[in-house]
Amino acid sequence: MRPHRLRFHLVDSDRSWSARQRRRRADWLARTFPDLEKMHVIDLGGRLGTWTRADVRPARVHVVNLERPPANVPDWAEVDRADACDLPARITSRRYDLVFSNSVLEHVGGHERRLRFADAVRGLGDRHWVQTPYRYFPIEPHWIAPGMQFLPVRLRTAFARRWPLGHKPTRTHEAAIHQVLWTELLDRSQMRHYFPDSRILAERVAGLPKSLIAVRADGPPVPSP
């Protein structure tokens, strides 16, 4: 099987292993927040497609990321182009029922910006769900590469240029090192530091923690199935 087809079947297809994991996580979110369909949710760093495909969709969704907003936005949604670590006053002045983020915290650009991201999460609402891949899961999730996250930057960059299962093609050194330096997986100590008042949950695969989720809910979060 060609590498791009292998990645499609492992990660990108709606029937892929990763898609099944995402649906499982979405179900976990809905069980943790049983009134999700009545909520006004802000999604920091996400995409509108996450919610158009969701089995349980909030009443209102405000998506904020660095990409240009799509031409067509449904009436239940709002999309803003903004930096989640440096939000404009038009967003920080608002309050939401739930602050949501999925696989974004590892890309915001270092410790100081992660602190600002966590401050934004707490400032926008009382409840949150912030997920990020776990550093010590044996497979690096963006390149689907065993142990890649533990290599020095020079070797990660060389690896990123040649490894065929990466999430974006990186044919030049500059493109590869850009992706490598903007991807920094976190561990439990870091998540506890950024979200000291949250419960840090682990999403597991074959008994191993695959991702970490900082959750603050009205009641105790529902355990992972």
What CATH number did the domain enclosing 61 receive? 3.40.50.150
Residue 1's pLDDT is what? 46
89 lies in the same domain as 40 = yes
For the chain, give the percent of residues with pLDDT over 70. 91
68 lies in the same domain as 160 = no
* DSSP conformational letter for 223: P
64 lies in the same domain as 174 = no
Helix residue ranges per DSSP H, 106-210: 111-124, 153-162, 173-181, 188-194
160 lies in the same domain as 119 = no
CA distance 199 to 179: 30
Q: Which of 175-179, 182-186, 219-223 has the lowest mean pLDDT?
A: 219-223
92 lies in the same domain as 164 = no
210-221 residue pLDDT tens: 999 999 998 777
80 lies in the same domain as 96 = yes
For the chain, give the percent of residues with pLDDT over 90. 80
Q: What band does 61 get if pLDDT is binned at 50, 70 and 90?
A: very high
Q: What band does 23 get if pLDDT is binned at 50, 70 and 90?
A: confident
Q: What is the mean pLDDT of residues 134-140?
A: 97
Residue 223 belongs to some domain of the structure: no
35 lies in the same domain as 55 = yes
160 lies in the same domain as 56 = no
133 lies in the same domain as 163 = no
C-alpha distances (whole Å) from 67 to each of 82, 163, 166 are: 8, 26, 21
Q: What band does 47 get if pLDDT is binned at 50, 70 and 90?
A: very high
Q: Which residues pair with 186 in a beta bridge?
A: 134
Q: Is the pLDDT of residue 98 over 50?
A: yes
Residue 20's pLDDT is what? 75
Residue 116 belongs to some domain of the structure: yes
Residue 156 belongs to some domain of the structure: yes
Q: Is the pLDDT of residue 54 over 60?
A: yes
72 lies in the same domain as 61 = yes
64-85 residue pLDDT tens: 999 999 999 999 999 999 999 9
> Number of structural domains, the chain?
2
25 lies in the same domain as 69 = yes
Residue 224 belongs to some domain of the structure: no
Mean pLDDT, the chain, integer: 91
Residue 34's pLDDT is what? 96
Residue 108 belongs to some domain of the structure: yes
In 10 A of CB 116, how many CB atoms?
A: 17
Residue 102's pLDDT is what? 96
Angle in degrees, 0-180, between the axes of helices 173-181 and 153-162, rounded to the nearest 10: 120
Q: What is the mean pLDDT of residues 27-38?
A: 96
Q: Is the pLDDT of residue 225 over 80?
A: no
Residue 221 belongs to some domain of the structure: no
DSSP characters over 29-87: HHHHSTTGGG-EEEEES--HHHHHS-SS--SEEEEEESSPPPS---TTEEEEE--TTS-
60 lies in the same domain as 84 = yes
Q: Are 130 and 114 in contact (CB under 8 A)?
A: no
Comparison of pLDDT for 19 and 207, the residue scoring more: 207
Residue 214's pLDDT is what? 98
Residue 12's pLDDT is what? 57
Where in the sequence is the domain holding 211, given as residue range(s)?
A: 3-137+185-216
Q: Are 34 and 222 in contact (CB under 8 A)?
A: no
Residue 25 belongs to some domain of the structure: yes
Residue 163 belongs to some domain of the structure: yes
Helix residue ranges per DSSP H, 163-213: 173-181, 188-194
Residue 223's pLDDT is what? 78
